[in-house]
Amino acid sequence: MRVWPGRPYPLGATWDGVGVNFALFSENAAKAELCLFDHPDAAQPSQVIPLKERTDQVFHTYLPDVLPGQLYGYRVYGPYAPSEGHRFNHHKVLFDPYAKAVGRESRWDHAMFGYEIGHADGDLSFDVRDSAPFAPLAAVNDPAFTWGDDRSPRIPWHETLIYELHVKGFTKKMPGVPDRLRGTYAGVGCETAVRHLKELNVTAVELLPVHYRLDDHYLVEKGLTNYWGYNTLGFFAPDPRLSADPKNPAAAVWEFKTMVRTLHAAGIEVILDVVYNHTAEGNQNGPTLSFRGIDNASYYHLSPEDRRYYMDFTGCGNTPSLRHPRVLQLIMDSLRYWVLEMRVDGFRFDLATALARELFEVDKLSTFFDVIHQDPVLSQVKLIAEPWDVGPGGYMVGNFPVGWTEWNGEYRDAIRKFWAGRDVPADKLAARLTGSGDLYEQTGRRPYASINFITCHDGFTLHDLVSYDQKHNEANKEDNRDGSNDNHSWNCGAEGPTDDPAVNTLRARQKRNMFATLMLSQGVPMVLGGDELGHTQKGNNNTYCHDDDLTWLDWKLTPDQNAFLGFVRRATALWRDQPVLQRRTFFEGRPIRGSGVADVSWFTPAGAELANDDWEKPAKCLGCRLAGDLIDETDSRGEPIVGDTLLFLLNAQADPVDFTLPDTNPGQRWELVFDTADDARPPMSFPGKYRYLLRDWSVAVFRTRRDGAPEPAAPPPRAKAAARAGARPRTRPPHAP
């Protein structure tokens, strides 16, 4: 085989149509070898090519006789001195950090570790077994793909509705998707899947991690898997297990691009959940798979007291060192690759606070954020932070820079507590419903900085949130110790499944209440995939290790589930159609343009606006009017944005309330959009000052209509006693008075 010097850039294996350039960074290595494998079952490389050329700490070569699909790995030589931060072991075949495709997945064996497992010296010992038969291998990728007229939908943030999904779980059991495509990238791009997303008015899918990941050794030993995928090894390669042809190295890349192209054509953006805060190699007792064997001291954030150990801000064993320019380059190159080559539209950064840690303190103006902001590609895509990690000072909700949005944990907790009957001060609830200006406005950000969610992959599903007081994670085989104990849930009177019709009626209403609240809140709504179907995980709030029916969505719906799906579609349509729910700016909370009417107003059940001393009291029942004719914003052509004025009433208590509707403008009345206590109730209208019977545990939504509009069905006689005698649980949350 011909061997040419090649170039130090770009890093990784690059096919140029003639041959392949290989480039590998290592600051502290003495030498490196490129190992070429003929097929995935090969126990040893067919050729070993010493990398004699080294430029700017990059080993490189060019092989004019190598084609796309070639499997390869590296052996890297250097000192094995853990106390100094070095863990080179040339007996281990290493995965290319810049690999664009996976040629062979890893198989767990003691040879995958750089030290002798069971040795008295632990990780200070040195293992001489060859990992070549078991190591993950990269594959040379051909980037050619016919994108046609594909382009990003570029949905504005304030018009974005995010649907969080797992590629496999979303379509694994979806009827209408061909069997061989279920649970794959291609499955997500199938007509049936896309139609479901469009019927939900989704504008962006947020995919749980699709970067190549490993199943943790301890999970494999338990017969479990790292299903969620938060255990990355390859930051450029899509996971082949989510491909319809996992043995073909090129299939995952091609399928992923096809999925993106299809979703874009439907007007749906693709956001990736990315995990740059740790790698699959774990702590000092973890395997030597890639970064650790290539240059441990450069890639990882090591303890300044003893470089044998790792700084761990994630609870996963290690943290990449963004202080090193090559590590920062790796992450930035990965992000740009997924935008420019794979054409994704944004990223959600797992435990993003860890990326801001240059030393120990969290610095919101760290190098990582500075580099993102000046990058002409990445500064233009959607950036979402999970604004916390497990290190000191790691809870950073509201503290990320301009240009970033955040998963708003404060929103999640406040809404959960409110609907569970717990005390939430009125001022805090109002702030969460109107974009959390107390968190974001002072830093120059807008309401859409708040990614509003009530449920996500991590925790209870919406159905379980109203069905369980306690987590039930026994299936994870950790004696129910894992997962959060602080869920702010309420089981509505029975733990888990029940035949009690009153409890089930209340649970269905509570799901409607919370979903309606999400759609009525300012900010960017995020829906957990499967919530619209009533998906249950049987009380397990940490299903990261289950690749089975517990996490695969069940599309065989009961009548009740179908009814809730219909409600979800109506609620998202209301959000889509009402400009006042998609504001770009925060409410002023005062009369606008001399109208005498505030753009947002809050009401007690008596129909009076909240007084100063009401704001610090717990909110149990209140109303909010959003003035659609006082939005004070313009569209993309400079035309004023005007919509309906909305009124929504929230009653988070076990007793009905006579709620006096606020007055309307002359010639207008209130039209009922929906009432979660009676999902089948037809539209009807009411005059201002009407005393509306707001049922226990319910949301009622109204919009203004002019007197000349066709009259909906007249309101029935107000039979309070009959309404109160209707089927409803006589239960209260255990913490309620």
Residues 203-229 have a mean pLDDT of 97
Q: Tell me the average pLDDT of the chain.
A: 93
Round to whole Å and give the CA distance between 628 and 104.
Answer: 57
Beta strands 58-63 and 101-104: pairing type? unpaired
How far lies 60's CA from each of 4, 12, 238, in Å?
Answer: 9, 9, 24
Residues 361-388 have a mean pLDDT of 86
Q: Which residue has the higher pLDDT, 356 or 87?
A: 87
Please give the pLDDT value at position 708.
Answer: 61
Round to whole Å and give the CA distance between 36 and 28.
Answer: 23
Residue with tokens 């989704």: 202
Residue 728 has pLDDT above 50, yes or no: no
CB 461 within 8 A of CB 536: yes
Residue 592 has pLDDT above 80, yes or no: no
- Residue 686 backbone phi and psi in degrees, to 5: -140, 145
Please give the pLDDT value at position 721.
Answer: 34
Lowest mean pLDDT among 355-369, 401-415, 626-640, 722-736: 722-736
Residues 111-126 have a mean pLDDT of 97
Domains and CATH numbers, the chain: 12-139 (2.60.40.10), 159-409+426-452+505-526+573-579 (3.20.20.80), 587-725 (2.60.40.1180)
Residue 645 has which token pair?
A: 């004025």
Round to whole Å and give the CA distance between 568 and 532.
Answer: 6
For residue 399, name the pLDDT band (cuts at 50, 70, 90). Answer: confident
Please give the pLDDT value at position 361.
Answer: 63
Please give the pLDDT value at position 279.
Answer: 97
DSSP letter assigned to residue 284: T
Q: Which residue has the higher pLDDT, 714 or 428?
A: 428
CB 614 within 8 A of CB 692: no
Please report, as a single letter, which amino acid is at residue 231: N
For residue 594, name the pLDDT band (cuts at 50, 70, 90). Answer: low
Round to whole Å and give the CA distance between 239 and 231.
Answer: 11
Round to whole Å and give the CA distance between 21 and 38.
Answer: 18
Three-state DSSP at 76 gives: strand
Residue 727 has pLDDT above 60, yes or no: no
Round to whole Å and give the CA distance between 575 and 646.
Answer: 11
Residue with tokens 């496999």: 168
Please give the pLDDT value at position 722.
Answer: 35
**The three-state (H, E, C) secondary structure of 515-549, written as one string:** HHHHHHCECEEEEECCHHHCCCCCCCCCHHHCCCC
Please give the pLDDT value at position 707.
Answer: 73
Residues 244-258 have a mean pLDDT of 97
Please report, as a single letter, which amino acid is at residue 716: P
Cβ contacts of 269 within 8 Å, gap of 6 or more: 152, 153, 154, 155, 160, 203, 204, 205, 263, 345, 346, 382
Neighbours of 353 (CB within 10 A): 26
Burial 260-290 (b: 16+ CB within 10 A, else e): bbbbbebebbbbbbbbbbbbbbbebebbbbb
Neighbours of 735 (CB within 10 A): 11
Residue 360 has pLDDT above 70, yes or no: no
User: Which residues are catalytically annotated?
Assistant: 350, 386
Round to whole Å and give the CA distance between 685 and 704.
Answer: 9
Burial 197-229 (b: 16+ CB within 10 A, else e): beebbbbbbbbbbbbbbbbbbebeeeebbbbbb
User: Using one digit for the tens of pLDDT, what is the confidence trace for 133-186?
Assistant: 999 999 999 999 999 999 999 999 999 999 999 999 999 999 999 999 999 999
**H/E run at residue 233:** strand 232-238
DSSP letter assigned to residue 470: S
How far lies 399's CA from each of 157, 369, 384, 431, in Å?
Answer: 19, 12, 13, 17
CB 555 within 8 A of CB 443: no
End-to-end CA distance of the chain: 81
Round to whole Å and give the CA distance between 290 and 564.
Answer: 47
Round to whole Å and give the CA distance between 553 and 496.
Answer: 19
Lowest mean pLDDT among 304-313, 363-372, 403-412, 444-453: 363-372
Round to whole Å and give the CA distance between 177 and 196.
Answer: 12
Neighbours of 732 (CB within 10 A): 16
Round to whole Å and give the CA distance between 160 and 328.
Answer: 30
Beta strands 211-213 and 232-238: pairing type? antiparallel
**Radius of gyration of the CA atoms of the chain, in A:** 28
User: Using one digit for the tens of pLDDT, what is the confidence trace for 561-585?
Assistant: 999 999 999 999 999 999 999 999 9
Round to whole Å and give the CA distance between 115 and 124.
Answer: 7
Please give the pLDDT value at position 737.
Answer: 41
For residue 715, name the pLDDT band (cuts at 50, 70, 90). Answer: very low
DSSP letter assigned to residue 85: T
Residue 65 has pLDDT above 90, yes or no: yes
Handedness of CA 446, 389, 95, 321 (dihedral sign): positive
Residues 676-699 have a mean pLDDT of 93
Lowest mean pLDDT among 302-316, 487-501, 581-595: 581-595
Please give the pLDDT value at position 719.
Answer: 37
Residues 335-358 have a mean pLDDT of 91
Please report, as a single letter, which amino acid is at residue 107: R
**H/E run at residue 431:** helix 426-433
Please report, as a single letter, which amino acid is at residue 163: Y
Please give the pLDDT value at position 238.
Answer: 98
